[in-house]
A and B are shown apart, each in its own frame.
Chain A
Amino acid sequence: MSEHAASHGTEAEHGHEEGHAHHGPKDYIRIWLVLVVLLAVSVAGPFLEIKVITLLTAFGIAVVKAFLVCKHFMHLDVQPKYVLYFLGTALAFMLLFFFGVAPDVMNHEGQNWTNMAAQEEIERALIAQGHGPALEPGAFDAATTFANTCGPCHGTGGAGDGPAAAALEPHPANFTDPAFWADPTRDHEHIVATITNGGASVGRSALMAAFGGQFDAEQIEALAAHVESLNPNHE
């Protein structure tokens, strides 16, 4: 044994050394086996398809596994008590952070505020995943279709401010601008024709594509009605 190894033994506090006395390689392997069995249980849990059991086998077992590793591998139980205290303090700060922030993050609506970005994202994503709250499967929703299909250029709200708008010349139309609607040629038939056959067909920007192949006449009627509803002077 080198002098370094020897000094290691004598320097360590007694409690620590005693704590090791009953841990040999066989004990460590036994603990590892327990950990592997627990892992198998946590993976098997979801197969029962009972939510409570999944959560229990997932997180309950995670806590048990973490406890075993901390106690038997890290020897946390034989460290001076104050080590536990400052680690516990760090954990307490983590919980403080959670309970301090969670009310704002987890609610999307308060007395005087609304987290519209979060609400819109949830609605958009749920519809995209096929389990939207208000829609029958396969139902056509003009506002959602507008946001998804027209939104990249015209903006989800139709203000001509979609992500691609800046790069387009002429800029995509802003349907929320009364000036746009002041032009008397922009009646319902004109909007329907533009969506169906594209901008060039009505003497406007060719950057506005034709959507007649993508939507049927009824859907285009609904889209046109949605576009017209964006007019601030719309009755």
Chain B
Amino acid sequence: MKPVATTRTAAGIQTGRLAVWWLLASEIVIFGGLLVSYIMHRLAHPEWADYASHTNTWIGTVNTLVLLSSSLSAVLAHHAAEQGDGKKAAKLLLATIGGAVAFLVIKSFEWTHEIHEGFTITANGFWAFYYVAAGIHASHVIVGAILMGWVAWQANQNRELQRVELVGIYWHFVDVVWIFLFPLLYIAK
């Protein structure tokens, strides 16, 4: 028997997809609260401009490009799944996981460098926000990569292809959060 999330459409939408949207509504509050808190402090603390000038715009740019590209492979995986091509969907999801891993590797180099420079989470309010916001985001990247691995494994056997879209929606959201983190932490200096 298939899970109810894939068979019921009582709300005019596949229940699994509805659940993902609800999840994202809660994520909006989590990341939104974090980002507006950052904005409040950034505007109220003129000394943060100097702290922010130490973030590396180029690393941030490369990571943005990585995430945007991983979103492309995620939506292409969704397209392949719609065509019933589970194997292709699985391959494209693997490419997306590759993007997630690349993002995390780049981030770990970036953080290592910053911590060596003395910009630790306890250095001041700016760096505390920097590590907390990017850290919560990175944890979402890790969770997304694990989920995509599972979905890709199923898709490769042409099972539960609807999940390719569901995990994709989540992944695009992670991308959107980074789209806002990028100017806040790397561009507005």
Contact = CB atoms under 8 A, between A and B. Distances in A.
Number of contact residues on A: which range applies?
35 or more
25 contacts: A7-B6, A7-B7, A8-B161, A11-B6, A11-B7, A11-B9, A29-B72, A42-B183, A43-B187, A54-B187, A54-B188, A59-B188, A61-B183, A79-B17, A80-B12, A86-B25, A94-B29, A98-B39, A102-B36, A107-B44, A122-B45, A125-B47, A125-B50, A125-B124, A126-B47
Contacts of A102: 36, 40
B176 interface: yes
Contact of A118 (B24, B45, B68, B72): B45
A45 interface: yes
A1 B81 CA distance: 10
B18 interface: yes
Interface residues of B, number: 66
B41 A105 contact: yes
Interface of B: 2, 6-7, 9, 11-14, 17-18, 21-22, 24-26, 28-29, 32-33, 36-37, 39-41, 43-47, 50, 57, 61, 64-65, 68-69, 71-72, 74-76, 79, 81-82, 84, 86, 124-125, 158-162, 168-169, 172-173, 175-176, 179-180, 182-183, 187-189
Given A13-B12, A24-B79, A58 B183 contact: yes
B161 A70 contact: no
B79 A32 contact: no
A135 interface: no
A28 B72 contact: yes
Nearest to A123: B47
A12 interface: yes
Contact of A4 (B18, B68, B71, B158): B158
B25 A4 contact: no
Q: Which 6 residue pairs of A and B lie closest in terms of their CB atoms, listed nearest first?
A: A94-B32, A1-B84, A125-B47, A58-B183, A2-B158, A5-B84
A36 to B, nearest CB: 6
Consensus secondary structure, chain B interface = helix
Contact of A74 (B64, B76, B172): B172
Given A86-B21, A86-B22, A90-B26, A79 B159 contact: no
A101 B26 CA distance: 20
A89 B6 CA distance: 26
B33 A13 contact: no
B176 A69 contact: yes
Contacts of B179: 62, 65-66, 69
Contacts of A97: 32-33, 36
B188 A55 contact: yes
A178 interface: no
Contacts of A58: 183, 187-188
A25 interface: yes
B32 A91 contact: yes
Nearest to B49: A129
Contacts of A163: none
Contacts of B24: 87
A165 interface: no
B33 A94 contact: yes
Nearest to B180: A62
Given A66-B179, A108-B44, A13 B68 contact: no
